[in-house]
Amino acid sequence: MIDQQAAKRLQIIYESFEGGQVDFAKFCDVSQPSISRMLAGTQPIPLEVIKIICLKLGYDPMWMITGTGPAKVKEQKSSLVTDLKNLQVEIKILNARISALENKSGEFSQLTR
């Protein structure tokens, strides 16, 4: 199932990006047709794309995946802090995905009762 709200959040990020779809696709390390489908909400957003956007543009993974919390994280400096931030981003991505799967699992079990 594709999260249309996540596609809308990706659209917000894209609109603030300096460049067109080809540039944004290169930035996200995907093809232009793939980024177009993600923006349209017809293709899921891969975790790797979320990770790139969070690490390079400073967006919060929880916001990207679930829409909760602030859109951007406060910028921090220092290599150790950067390493910790990268690990925190990966943990948040995993936690947000687990939460989303648990919610969908709960919805599914209610439908099958």
For the chain, list the domains and their CATH numbers: 4-111 (1.10.260)
36's enclosing H/E stretch is helix 32-40
How long a stretch of residues is the chain? 113
User: Residue 97, CB half-sphere, CA atoms under 13 Å: how many?
Assistant: 13
Token code pair at residue 75: 């910028």
Using alpha carbons only, give the angle 44, 49, 53 rounded to the nearest 5 degrees.
125
Cβ(67)–Cβ(9) under 8 Å? yes
Strands (E), the chain: none
Per-residue pLDDT tens over the stretch 13-63: 999 999 999 999 999 999 999 999 999 999 999 989 999 999 899 998 889
pLDDT tens track for 62-86:
898 888 888 887 765 556 666 777 7
